[in-house]
Amino acid sequence: MILIIIGSRVCPQSVSPHSLDYYIEQAQNNSPLIGDYNNQQTVSKYEQQRLKVFYTQSKLELDGNLLFVPIVSKDNGNVRFELTPQNTTSYYGYDQGISSGSLQAGLLLTKPIFANSSLKVAQQQEFVTTDINKNNIKLQKHDLQRLVTDQYILCLLDRQKIAFTDSLLQILDKQGKIVHKLSQASIMKQSDCKLIEIEMDDYTELRKSCEQSYHTHLLDLNILCGIKDTTTVMLDDIKLYPKINNSENSPFIEKYKLDSLNLIIHQGISEIQYKPRINLFVDGGLRASQYSLSTFNHFGMSAGVTFAWTIFDGRQRKITRNQTKTELNTVSLYRENFILQNDLRKNQYLSELKGDDERGSILQKQLELYDQVLSDYNKEIQNGQLSIIDYITVLKNKTQATENYYLLKANRLLLINAFNYYNW
């Protein structure tokens, strides 16, 4: 029997392929959601690199444009189409004094300056996103641990029923041989043998049903864990105990803390636009308004500084701050509600566990009494002093009591698993 306490993990090298730890590990390794969160971690690292480049590095662009403003000239009485008019006085088309053809091509170099404060705020957003992803991975692993454990317990319940049914079939087979000898000696009736056979058929059918249930639950366990296996294996036994947790850094609470921090950082990013923005630019290339041989003499460059500062935008800044404040209040409400419900849940589970322990003691005592009665009945049957019907009746009652006992044990494990899930 393998002792497994929720919260403790065994080294991968020592994990049995039929143990609870193995199935939990497989579920976590094969989870696409955890893989998604891990990929988001990588994306966040790339985003941090991009932000650093965006706020601190220069940007070089190659641009250009070629503009034609054609007209229909009437100079000297000749009507003709001119694609690039020069010194035309009588024409149809745009006013050449306002709009004329041009050629522009060159490089533009821009570099943000005094943007370190904006970079820090933007990077904080990615740091928080990284922490959120890490916490989400912890939460998802914890969820899978609970789901896998619950499914594993259902499998163990089916296996216990199979083992118990086997023991009953062995008892009935042994009892049937005794009754058969007694019937041959005319101590018992032939109908008693038939009753034994009927009961054996009933328990044989019950065993088939338990086997089918075990196989189905085992397949569901493999599906949950992403294991490509359809064979029926014998799972290891487990023992679960309520976990004592004195830590105040629960990932459940951490989630709300990170959500609040994310809102605050998001508000900080929205306020970057209200800071003065200064960019240094340098451009160089070709600019000309006429297309001729002298066009290529107009290569040159320019440099300067651009400045922008949002002074008023209709009080949008105040509105976004109020939105963030309201959203922070919502997160706080959810956090307080979770803490309240979580404490109530844990107290409820502990109370139910106490009741199950008391019921378990009663059922154990009852089963011991059933065993004593069946042992006495067996002696009386061998002496021909008891009808087999009375024996079968007591055996059925014991079967029902045993099933209740197994259900109680399984429910107790489920309660402990639920308690450990929230007491984290």
> Domain segments of the chain: what residues?
12-65+115-278+313-422
Residue count (the chain): 424
Site of tokens 């609970």? 146
In DSSP terms, 61 is beta-bridged to 108
Sign of CA dihedral 264, 267, 269, 273: negative
Phi, psi of 142 (to 5 degrees): -65, -40
Which residues, at least 6 apart from 109, have a Cβ–Cβ distance to it below 8 Å? 58, 59, 60, 61, 281, 282, 283
- Provide the CA 150 distance to its chain's centre, in angstroms: 17
Integer Cα distance of 20 and 406 in angstroms? 19
If DSSP states are collapsed to H, E and C, what string results for the chain?
Answer: CCCCCCCCCCCHHHCCCCCHHHHHHHHHHCCHHHHHHHHHHHHHHHHHHHHHHHHHCCEEEEEEEEECCCEEECHHHCCEEECCCCCCCCEECCCCCCCCCEEEEEEEEEEEECCHHHHHHHHHHHHHHHHHHHHHHHHHHHHHHHHHHHHHHHHHHHHHHHHHHHHHHHHHHHHHHHHHHHHHCCCCCHHHHHHHHHHHHHHHHHHHHHHHHHHHHHHHHHHHHCCCCCCCCCCCCCCCCCCCCCCCCCHHHHHHHHHHHHHHHHHHHHCHHHCCEEEEEEEEEEEECCCCHHHHHCEEEEEEEEEECCCCCCCHHHHHHHHHHHHHHHHHHHHHHHHHHHHHHHHHHHHHHHHHHHHHHHHHHHHHHHHHHHHHHHHHHHCCCCCHHHHHHHHHHHHHHHHHHHHHHHHHHHHHHHHHHHCC
In the structure encoding, which two tokens stand for residue 71, read together? 């007209």
Integer Cα distance of 405 and 82 in angstroms? 102
Site of tokens 């006429």? 290
Q: How big is the CA angle at 119 (ends 116 and 122), to the nearest 5 degrees? A: 155
End-to-end Cα separation, the chain, in angstroms: 26
Which residues, at least 6 apart from 400, have a Cβ–Cβ distance to it below 8 Å? none
Phi, psi of 207 (to 5 degrees): -65, -40
**Among candidates 169, 192, 157, which has minimal Cα distance to 404?**
157
- Provide the CA 70 distance to its chain's centre, in angstroms: 64
Q: Regarding the domain delimited by 12-65+115-278+313-422, which CATH topology (the fold level of the hierarchy) does it fall under?
A: Outer membrane efflux proteins (OEP) (1.20.1600)
Residue 293 is predicted with a pLDDT of: 61
Q: With a cut of 70, list the residues of the chain below it in pLDDT.
A: 1-14, 246-247, 290-294
pTM: 0.82
Query: In angstroms, what CA-CA distances link 198 with 174, 178, 398?
Result: 15, 16, 17
Residue 4 is predicted with a pLDDT of: 37
In the structure encoding, which two tokens stand for residue 61, read together? 């662009």
Instruction: Answer yes or no: are the C-beta atoms of 173 and 200 closer than 8 Å.
Output: yes
Residue 2 is predicted with a pLDDT of: 33
In the structure encoding, which two tokens stand for residue 69, read together? 């403003």
Residue 189 is predicted with a pLDDT of: 86
Integer Cα distance of 6 and 24 in angstroms? 11
Sign of CA dihedral 199, 204, 205, 211: positive
